[in-house]
Amino acid sequence: MSVADLDEQQHRLVLTAHPLQRVGAYALAELAGAEEPEKVTPEGFNTAVAKMTADAIRAAKVRDTKRPEGFWLKVSLSFFPNSKMNHNAQLKKSDEELAAGIRAWRSPPEPASWPGVRCVLCGREAVGFYGKVDVPLAESHLYRNTTPRGHAGLALCWPCVCSFHALPYGCRLTGGPSIALHSWDERFLARVVSRQVERNHQHIVLGRAADKIPAREVVALHALRHYGERLTAGVELLVFSNNNKGQTLEIHSLEQPLAEWLRKTARRPELRQGFAALLRAHAGPKSPGVVGLARNAFHDPERIPAACARYLADRFDRSGLVPSDAADLAGLCSSFAIEVMWMKENDLAEIKATAHGVALLLSRETSAGKLREFHSTLKDPGRMQAWLRTRAVEWTLNPPEGADRPLLGSRAFQLLFDTGSDNRAWFHRQLLFVAVLEELHRLGWRPADGAAVAKEITEEDQPLGEDDTKYLQGEESL
């Protein structure tokens, strides 16, 4: 390879399998004004590197992370500790000496010093060995990115090193652990990083502190609901810090079906209509619904329909009335079952048919007591089984007018009570309860003793919490 080709190679970005390198490469492309990393020209590459160097020099000259404009200097400790940008010995130097040190740090080594090995990420010629000062983290928390004694570090080419230098521009900065979103859906990653680079302009260029976020998972939820294209891959939420006082790395993943479903809840009218109710279902005494929803999505997705069932049951218990948003939540839960849990539509139809029969029986009651009794069986599958079996016998001996099928078919029974590992019976029972409330709402059932609870009736229209209202208002541009 000629010297010119080698020089060209060291100014071209390549996407590798390292998630943080990929986020950094997209951020560097945005700084270079290119649509994607592969389209960054050598001139654009140099322009982007010059911007990052200038930002680092400006931040370092503040010298005090506690000053109002010291935010980026403070954040740099979580990315590049002990670097020329923030090391105590460097900050005591004159402005000129400080700037010269940073320029040297952000300049490629002379070819004569290259180690003669390949970049471990992209396979091109490496320009040196790099460790904690330049590379925020290794892949796992088991590899703390501390170079063992006697080990030279990661062999990297200059574009891969610069991708790590650009990483902060593509992350949600907090002042503590930073948050990066990663996906193998290139369009999504490009869009998310592009928007983040734009938002980080004030934080990095001007040193202004970033707004606090209610929970790190909300960052991902916000990004998903603002994305207009179909997601073709899952999403990873990486929360990390390279700070000397505590290196951390957390990786939380959303599978593609769930990520796409969350995105659709902002796009499809029939799902968007119930999203406010979904937030109310996840609101806690001390936290807004958007936090509860985002955390359930990343840590235990099956809690999403469970939260809906619990929310509807609690409201019914308080007021004695079927909540007005039961149909909206039931629609969301059905969509969740099909699109996220991969439930067969025939199986969902069996659950709904059983729910229709149960609702028909309960609608004959003038008291809310029977529905409360049915709800109480959710905690005890044996009791629910007995409850349904008894009504099924009564249904068979004295079928309601127009009934053309049994109350509880064999497939529905299997879905609700089979404890096999390939059957989510618990999830199906939650789905059944939500569907019963949906049917009762459709039938317009209003038990006499429920209507007497005037105070609780007003809760039917309980508003969203302040934080959730602001969150939805922020999505009005969708």
Q: What is the pLDDT of residue 270?
A: 87
Could you say which of 119, 152, 169 is where a domain stops? 169
148/293 same-domain check: no
Kindly state whether residue 234 falls inside one of the protein's structural domains: no
462 and 353 part of one domain: yes
Tell whether 12 and 135 lie within a shared domain: yes
Of all residues in the chain, what percent carry a pLDDT higher than 90? Answer: 68
Same domain, 159 and 285: no
Q: Is the pTM of this model over 0.95?
A: no
Q: How far apart are CA 374 and CA 363, in angstroms?
A: 13
* 216 domain residue, yes or no: no
Section 289-305 average pLDDT: 94
pLDDT at 101 over 70: yes
Residue ending a domain, among 145, 169, 193, is: 169
Query: Cα(102)–Cα(87) distance, rounded to whole angstroms?
Result: 11
| pLDDT (0 to 100) of residue 353 | 95
Mean pLDDT along residues 257-265: 96
Domain end, chosen from 169, 204, 228, is at: 169
Query: Are 310 and 458 within one domain?
Result: yes
**123 has pLDDT over 80:** yes
User: Is residue 450 very low, low, confident or very high in pLDDT (cuts 50, 70, 90)?
Assistant: low
Tell me the average pLDDT across 387-396. Answer: 93
Q: 309 and 431 share a domain?
A: yes
130-187: per-residue pLDDT in tens?
A: 988 999 865 444 455 566 667 778 999 999 999 999 999 999 999 999 999 999 999 9
Both 285 and 155 in a single domain? no
Predicted local distance difference test score (pLDDT) of residue 439: 94
Residue 368: which pLDDT band, with cuts at 50, 70 and 90?
confident
Does residue 212 lie within any of the structural domains?
no
Q: What is the pLDDT of residue 476?
A: 53
Mean pLDDT of the chain: 89
Indicate the pLDDT class of residue 320, thresholds 50, 70 and 90. Answer: confident
**Integer Cα distance of 463 and 460 in angstroms:** 9
Q: Which domain range does residue 131 map to? A: 3-169
Residue 72 in any domain: the answer is: yes
Q: Count up the domains in the chain and report the number.
A: 2
Do 312 and 432 lie in a common domain? yes
| Residue 452 confidence class, pLDDT cut points 50, 70, 90 | low
Please tell me whether residues 146 and 277 are part of one structural domain.
no
Cβ-proximal residues to 341 (8 Å cutoff; 6+ apart), any chain: 302, 424, 427
383 belongs to a structural domain: yes
